[in-house]
Chains A and B, each alone.
Chain A
Amino acid sequence: MNWIGRSLPRLEDPSLLRGHGSYVADRIGKAASVRFVRSPLASGAITGIEIPPGATVFTGRDLSDVKPIQPILHRPDYIAIGQPVLPVDRVAFCGQAIAVVVAEDAALAEDIADQVFVDIDTTDAIVDLDTALAPGAAPVHPEAPSNVLVEGRMRTAGFDRAFADAAEIVALDLRSHRQSAAPMEGRGGLAEYDGVSGRVTLTASVQMPHMLRTGIADALGMPESELRVIAPDVGGGFGQKMSLFPEYIVLVWLARKLKRSVAWIEDRRENFTASAHGRDQAFSLRGAFAKDGRLLGLEADLRSNVGAFSCYPVTCGVEPLMALAELPGPYDLGEYGVRSRGVTTNTCMMAPYRGVSRPMLTFSMERLMEVAAKRLGIDAVEIRRRNLIGTFPHRSPTGLVYDEGSYLQAMETAVKAINLPAFRARQTALRKRNRHLGVGLSVFSERTGYGTPAYAARGMDIVPGYEIVDCTMDPSGNVVLRIGSSPHGQGLKTSLAQLVGDELGIEPQRIRVVSGDTDATPYGWGTFASRSMVIAGGASKLAAGQVAGKLKAIAAHLMEASPDDITLENGLARVSNSNRTTEIGALARAAYHQSHKFKGLSPGLHESAVYDPGGTFSNACHVAIVEVDIETGGVRIERFLVVEDAGVLINPMIVDGQIAGGVAQGIANALFEEMIYDENGNLLTASFADYLLPTSAEIPEIEITHMETVSPESVTKAKGVGEGGAIGAPAAVVNAIVDALSPFGIELFELPATPQRIREQLRKAGVSVHG
């Protein structure tokens, strides 16, 4: 019986479906309620804080012993900025927590917070990239006079030559506006104080519980052994919940100070204003193309608005340095010259959000290919054909090594599936009836499952990457798998149970996966960067393989055979080519209770393994077919196809769910979602009425086809797949819009392509809405 490759319904689901999920807000019980008083202004000096009499309120002065959050990159071009957990002297963005209220219930805490008056001597806010980088701009932080917190540069040796040899140089300015990950559950934490041991248990809606424990312990100067962090059911994260936020440090401080349990559940406005954002980027590209369409060289000036502070542990380098390293994407680029800057402003902090830079860099490269194809008179598919990488391993100009993929084949499969000639005929016919359909393509790579070497190369002080997994089979033959990864909706427990089920020859239902509890799991790095299936999966396979080896040795002893002749399947150990079998449960019992019989084997069935891979690239081609209403600028997506290569699929249904969900967020990035600040740094889109998430009415059925390239870089043969949908979709959708509007000669270089932006271009092109 093979469990890998089956669309097994998820083991996680029955409790969630019954309303018995256990999210942090469901656990707060009688804990006191915590409410943060937040800055109503983006920039200024705090001159006074008035606290209503009798209220329990703490300010930065009370927390003066708490260390600021200050993540480090060991690079000469990085300026470390400390984020005070509660500021004493000045505020740096609108929504920053300034004081904390503790009261008996949430409504009362909110009432008191409304009565705390913070006197701020306001100064001009620096909000956008252009203002921050303008000569003579005021610094957001005195430590960074130019407002640049991190800057990476590189230039290959033959760069100038490539531009001298170019037949066509295509220069583009591209823009991606700010987005929020907007998980349906916001952040929240419950800090429980144990009066006997003095320990605190922080239950929080987070993606990286061990890192949170380290970060909080460091900030408070306490041993990690006095803190337990639990990530219970978590209502989505998409990167937003992987950073250390001041609120969690304050909660643990309060529990220790007040010697009681306290809880903070943020509201949606707090999530929008004060958690983390992403995607606020401006890229200027110059592509040097040969006459035949080959991209000889690329020059890039990449600016990322990283907000007021640097996110812990990955730092504000995450977007700019990812953009620098991965801009060439799936293309065989010869020469590369790049400058990438992380720019600080008086806005909410940037942190990883599903895709990290790659939605923007894919959008940029795919727009570049389309514009170059038009200028050179080459078909848009053909120009990609001439530039996609095809020999592996491939080394990019930035030193990344791409393992085996199917870049070209995925694109050809997608193009064939949509039947391009038939679409063109239909497009032409409908244009005569003033209906405007277009098709758009996006080809990209998704770097997944990378271990410590990739993070060390960035110069990170805290180097994540490996995973440790403990696999224990108990005397009844059931398994507990303890992982440091921390899934929050991805169905990882089911996928790992399938993987380990095959390794041990037992049903997935007999495997219990324990995650998200620092007291019960080995130190690990949680769930982010499309890593868990590859890395936690790899460590699980290795650990389970060691248990399987022991079971086979015991079986061989009991059945008088060679361990090499033993197979584990359907709950039985079998001697090959015979009908001699023993139940795996009986072997497990023997391992614990008859251990004296098995010379050379340690008692019991408890194994641990580490996996720390170099990384593996998934790849995909997305195709969107859209219809644009030229009167309103509205876009309807008629079809959306994905041809994806993520190696071997452990649970195809779960993989498809990851892709479809990612594409929906990518469509949102392409058409709808935009965090807008006014010039004073006030967030204008702090509700779901202003920040528009797509609904079932806007998202089409996503048609998914899989390819399967087996890579030696992943022991499970699975590649990561969590981010690809969000990475590829914006480029495909916007390319399709541009194709639809090609009779009007319109180009779009900005995300999202809202009706207003499309109408603006149509107006500029002189398109009459009544024509």
Chain B
Amino acid sequence: MASKRDVNLTINGASHAVSIEPRRTLADVLRDDCGLTGTHLGCEHGVCGACTVLVDGRPVRSCLMFGVQAEGKTIRTVEGLADGDTLHPLQQAFWENHGLQCGFCTPGFLMLAAGALEENPEMSDNEIKDVLSSNLCRCTGYQNIVKAVRIAARELRARPRA
């Protein structure tokens, strides 16, 4: 067992100082050291994408990244997606369009879609479906997830730029 390292992370705008083993994944750091259990672990080998978070704005599998690699980086998780009581347009669209059933994969899909739409707000419907094939869902058959992200994309495009 290796000795621990002190690491500072910025998560959803708040600073977190943690002392962690170098082998600890970012997902475990978020869940166990920072108490942010909205990020889920479905496979821990980088396929399912349930653990997707945004690192410096890009979607990342947090099970494939070490916590120490996140030093100094800006991390966003599902807990930071809503604006207080107001759901993010993606969350709202998932709700209204039945884009979730058991909800376990949902945080990963939300963060994947949030990152992809921030990078390219003009994604076509086909590009959206393609991006969403990065993650696995076992309940929905995907069509309502794809539909929800397409609707949220339109909603986000229609918004005045901040």
Contact = CB atoms under 8 A, between A and B. Distances in A.
B137 interface: yes
Contact of B102 (A107, A234, A687): A234
Contact of B24 (A12, A107, A182, A183): A107
Nearest to B94: A17
Interface in B23-78: 23-24, 31, 36-45, 47-48, 50, 77-78
Interface stretch (B3-11, B116-124, B141-149, B153-161): B141-149
Do most interface residues of chain A lie in helix, strand or loop, or is the interface mixed? loop
Contacts, number: 170
B139 A489 contact: yes
B50 to A, nearest CB: 6
Contacts of B82: 17-18
Contacts of B130: 697
Interface stretch (A21-29, A407-415, A760-768): A21-29
A653 B21 CA distance: 46
A660 B138 contact: no
B143 A20 contact: no
Given A107-B24, A699-B141, A185 B39 contact: no
Contact size range, A:
35 or more
Contact of B40 (A185, A490, A661, A698): A185
Interface string B78-110: 110110000100010011101011111111001
A578 interface: no
B15 interface: no
Interface residues of B, number: 55
B95 A660 contact: no
Contacts of B78: 18-19
B76 to A, nearest CB: 11
B106 A17 contact: yes
B45 A268 contact: yes
A14 interface: yes
A184 B98 contact: no
A662 B140 CA distance: 8
A235 B140 CA distance: 12
A696 B133 contact: yes
A256 interface: no
Nearest to A697: B133
A19 B141 contact: no
A488 interface: yes
Nearest to A20: B38
B129 A19 contact: no
A183 B105 CA distance: 10
A13 interface: yes
Nearest to B135: A695
B18 interface: no
Contact of A653 (B38, B98, B139): B98
A667 B129 CA distance: 18
Contacts of B100: 13, 16-17
B1 interface: yes
B103 A233 contact: yes
Nearest to B147: A701
B87 A490 contact: no
Given A235-B102, A665-B138, A699-B142, A14 B43 contact: no
A688 B138 contact: no
A590 B103 CA distance: 40
B101 A19 contact: no
A698 B146 CA distance: 13
Nearest to A234: B102
Given A19-B39, A661-B138, 13 more contacts: A17-B106, A18-B38, A23-B104, A25-B31, A235-B40, A267-B44, A488-B102, A489-B101, A491-B101, A661-B141, A664-B141, A664-B142, A699-B143
7 contacts: A19-B39, A21-B104, A183-B104, A235-B104, A490-B101, A695-B142, A697-B133
Ranked nearest first, the 7 interchain pairs of A and B with the lowest CB-CB distance are A19-B38, A489-B102, A235-B104, A16-B103, A664-B141, A19-B78, A688-B47
